[in-house]
Structure 1
Amino acid sequence: MSQFTPDADWLHWHQSPSKPHYKPPAGAVDAHCHVFGPGDQFPFAPERKYTPCDASKDQLWALRDSLGFARNVIVQATCHGADNRALIDALQQSQGLARGVATVKPDISDAQLQHLHDAGVRGVRFNFVKRLVDALPFDGLKSIAERIKHMGWHIVIYFEAQELAELYDFFTALPTTVVVDHMGRPDVSKSVDGPEFQLFVKLMRENENFWSKVTCPERLSLQGPPHYNDVVLFARSIVEAFPQRVLWGTDWPHPNMKTHMPDDGKLVDFIPRIAPTVELQRHLLVNNPLRLYWPELQEN
């Protein structure tokens, strides 16, 4: 039993997700998911902005198998801060089927970075969503970026669409591959051709080191489940314009959802609506995540 009580409005992840109608290609990767605790083994950070329910590695593996995926990329959750022990444990117990994205502080030692690398970490996450983190020291982030560049790692950035203009110059100065979470959280009530989303398209078009996750229709949609129709055009436009720089993931166990908890099987069924051809699906689910996280598997 966890020593932590979830927030009163916390929505527990779906206990019985449906079997998807869409069958992912062999070797498909869920390239954005999390583990929470368990809190009695891996305590949540004192400075956290939310307290979740437990969501263990074994529960994640069970979901992966049920949905028809082969591998996971686990992203360090903000509720654990820069304490990556739950992430490391999951990676070490994954039998090589998971890679990770960690959260680190500027004072992390070279030995600690190497320990993360040996466990399977291949990137760091910078979170710019103001409701989830305190203000970030930009000089410290630049220092981290320079250090991980030499390890072949990439940077994952999480921000909201209205913040991109302010952060654009900082982002484009980053010295390594940069992966944007959830298409930069576009406001789907606005036009896909409007200035806000087109600034994100410009970021992708003019900076070939930028990738995008076409994830989380359940977070972005105003129309809601099960179809999330208002997100399709945004995601499909990115997949078709940048087919070799897109990733997809469940975002399990869906932290901080306030209106509904998505059915992960229905999220998988969303994939062919945004990647309508077999070729696009294979790039999105197999080729791209392997190139970024398991390049050794593509050498031959």
Structure 2
Amino acid sequence: MKTETAACDAHIHIYDPRFAAQAPIEENAGVPQYRALQARLGLKRAVVVQPRVYGTDNSATLQAIADLGLANARGIAVVDRDIDDARLAALHEGGIRGIRFSFHSPNKDAGDFETVARLAQRIAALGWHVQLHWTADQIAQQESLLRQLPVPIVFDHMARLPPGTGLSHPAFGIVRSLLASGRAWLKLSGPYLNTAFGVHGGYPDTDAIARAWIEAAPEQLVWGSDWPHVTEPVHKPDDAELLELLSRWCCDPAVRQQILTTNPARLYGFHDH
């Protein structure tokens, strides 16, 4: 499926050897390589998510936004818990529109649940959101916190519901109600993170979950490739196949267009020219 108009890939990572990293970086995963993928898939817009290897130094992400062009790129930062207002303002000027808390696996730079509440208060005036890569169990355990946050919430990777049994997990109902309220969004991304079949297995156990999200709240969903797929060092998924999954999950072209174009424009503040 090659897209048209201002389709957005709402979840990518850019690695740039010009910037210091805490670990070896992914090779051939810079802006030039991503531009080639955009051309191949017919994508126009992108959201650059701060890679873990750069910690809370968002310089590489800001440079990627600038290189892609602020008209068609936004970013999600990871920040220090004591970041000052001037730095937040500078991040906003550079295209940042949210901060990520990745608690799915241990992450010393991501803060803790108390930090989520405190930083959400800080970013509310900027119109930012919090992006959460949490396990389904963490979502269920933190329901009270989620319902009290003063900013929109974006759930990463289909809310990481467990394959096969995800629709019966308490997190499904919690996220569904937040989506219905208009306070939350969800990324149809990372199917290989939510399957028992592996990268080349076609991800059949993601179908029911993805279709349930599309049925529940099509106006609150965005799509992301998760390029360059750093969690899959041996067998990289085919990005064209990942985009084609959206057609398998959703047979309505108007809804697919909404997920790829209209919704991300609302969430990230893109404007047609």
1:1-300 aligned at under 5 Å gives the runs: 22-38=1-17, 41-45=18-22, 51-54=24-27, 55-95=29-69, 96-133=71-108, 136-190=111-165, 192=167, 194-196=168-170, 198-205=172-179, 207-224=181-198, 225-257=200-232, 260-297=235-272
SS at match of 1:187: coil
Paired residues of 2:225 and 2:242 also in contact (CA < 8 A): yes
Q: Deviations over 1:43-95 (max 9, x none)?
A: 113xxxx6442321221122111111011011111121111000010111222
Counterpart residue type for residue 33 of structure 1: I
2: distance between equivalents of 1:214 and 1:223?
A: 18
2: distance between equivalents of 1:252 and 1:168?
A: 30
Counterpart residue type for residue 62 of structure 1: A
Q: CA deviation at 1:258?
A: 5.8
Identity %: 33
2: distance between equivalents of 1:135 and 1:66?
A: 33
Q: CA deviation at 1:249?
A: 0.6
Counterpart residue type for residue 53 of structure 2: C
**Number of matched pairs:** 270
Unmatched 5+ stretches in structure 2:
none
SS at match of 2:142: helix
Q: Deviations over 1:208-237 (max 9, x none)?
A: 201111111111111232521110110111
Paired residues of 1:201 and 1:238 also in contact (CA < 8 A): no
Counterpart residue type for residue 116 of structure 2: L
Higher relative contact order (CA 8 A, sep 6+): 1
1: distance between equivalents of 2:110 and 2:30?
A: 29
2: distance between equivalents of 1:200 and 1:259?
A: 35
Relative distance call for 1:135 and 1:211 in structure 2 (3 A) is: closer
Paired residues of 1:28 and 1:285 also in contact (CA < 8 A): yes
Q: CA deviation at 1:26?
A: 1.4
What RMSD over aligned residues (CA atoms) do the two structures have, in Å? 2.1
Relative distance call for 1:231 and 1:130 in structure 2 (3 A) is: same
1: distance between equivalents of 2:124 and 2:270?
A: 16
Whose helix fraction is larger, Structure 1's or Structure 2's?
A: 2
